[in-house]
Amino acid sequence: MKFIVSSSMLLKQLQAISGVLTTNNTLPILDNFLFELSDSEISVSASDLETTMTSRISVDMSEGEGSVAIPAKILLDTLKTFSDIPVTLDIDEGNFGVTLTAGEGKYRLAGQNGEEYPRVPPIENAASVSIESDILYQAISKTIFAASNDELRPVMAGIYCELSDEGTTFVATDAHKLVRYSRSDVKPEVSANFILPKKPLNQLRQILLHDEMPVSIEYSDTNARFTFRNITMTCRLIEGKYPNYSAVIPSSNPNRMTVDRQPFLNAIKRVSIFSNQTTYQVKFKIAGSELVLSAEDLDYSNEAHERLSCHYEGSDLEIGFNSKFMVEMLNNLGSDQVMLQMSEPNRAGLIIPVDNQNKEEDILMLVMPVMLGS
């Protein structure tokens, strides 16, 4: 088994899928890339058992067919040192030794039997939906930061996808903040809901950033498969029932403040420097057309106040928020202005973009308050 391929093309494809690899694998063979040669094309896979990514690459020349597992780190490190030159990989089908020839250099490394590499699980009785890559990228980027890191509550450590004939909704929450991102222009044929884990979505987001293309998503009760360009990613879904997120979104919010997003964001960043570094609490005091942001850290006698102009409808209000959560949310909104909807100092506040240019897109962000005086 032998093939010749461009070093830079091979490196680019290996880097695209290498984010799946982990350092503490339960199976030693998962420290390898799986190479499968067939019909002048190689399929290269990386897996951590939960997620498998495969890239198909055309080769310049090939002899024979078969599969071999090649150590990932040493192969990546070697390819990074080459300029764009043809490399030849010659695999001994008896002991799976790999000889890599590039220019005047010859390098040998020990491979393993590709038949021992874990197989990608089939997706049975799958339904599917097609989403443009830029939409999927936005959906992941605007929600994933709100997903929980609590391993004891795995259902909240992913993004909840709700597919219906009315559209598609992505939700993430960690019980302190929540983001709901909906698209009315993505309507699957079959209604479904499932929870996607964060790791493969982060990997997917990095690739989607660079290309515009349709992404096919196939899903069953246990797995989902994303297919685009020459890459396929299959991941195991998170099992369990997602919390009823709609129940925590307050429907009556008589106090509404509209403010320019960027000055608002910058002011929160400045004031939060002086806040208690445990609670990161910033107090919002809103009256008339004026917002006063304030923070203090009594342990170090630090204190800050900043005044902003805003448009406000409602009763005078003092409410505290975790500034880190507010900064994360405002960073992930692209509108020039945002509206903060509130009811009481102990009830969640809603942040929504004002004059969103995309009528097919609906974004709502919720943040729980920090009790003043705590």
What pLDDT score does 373 carry?
Answer: 61
Q: What is the mean pLDDT of residues 227-246?
A: 95
Regarding whether 309 and 226 lie in a shared domain, the answer is no
CA distance 5 to 115: 23
What pLDDT score does 308 carry?
Answer: 97
In what side-by-side order are the strands of the sheet with 86-91?
61-63, 2-6, 86-91, 97-102, 105-110
Give a yes or no: residue 121 inside a domain. no
CATH number at residue 16: 3.10.150.10
Structure confidence at residue 374 as a pLDDT band (50, 70, 90): very low
Quickly count: other Cβ atoms within 10 Å of residue 130's Cβ. 12
Give a yes or no: residue 122 inside a domain. no
The pLDDT tens digits for 47-60 are 999 999 999 999 99
What pLDDT score does 355 carry?
Answer: 84
CA distance 256 to 352: 11
The pLDDT tens digits for 66-109 are 999 999 999 999 999 999 999 999 999 999 999 999 999 999 99
Place of tokens 């695209």: 16
pLDDT above 70 covers a percentage of the chain that reads 99
Give a yes or no: residue 166 inside a domain. yes
Q: Domain of 25?
A: 2-116
The pLDDT tens digits for 5-50 are 999 999 999 999 999 999 888 899 999 999 999 988 999 999 999 9
CA distance 211 to 193: 27
Which of 247, 262, 281 lies at the terminal end of a domain, its last residue? 247
Which of 221, 247, 273 lies at the terminal end of a domain, its last residue? 247
Regarding whether 110 and 32 lie in a shared domain, the answer is yes
Which of 116, 142, 170 lies at the terminal end of a domain, its last residue? 116
Q: What is the pTM of this model?
A: 0.91
Give a yes or no: residue 374 inside a domain. no
Separation in Å, CA 338 to CA 269, 316, 344, 349, 364: 16, 19, 19, 12, 11
The pLDDT tens digits for 169-195 are 999 999 999 999 999 999 888 889 999
Q: Is the pLDDT of residue 210 over 80?
A: no
User: Do residues 96 and 185 lie in contact, with contact meaning Cβ atoms separated by under 8 Å?
Assistant: no
Overall number of domains in the chain: 3
Regarding whether 174 and 150 lie in a shared domain, the answer is yes
What pLDDT score does 8 carry?
Answer: 96
Regarding whether 295 and 184 lie in a shared domain, the answer is no
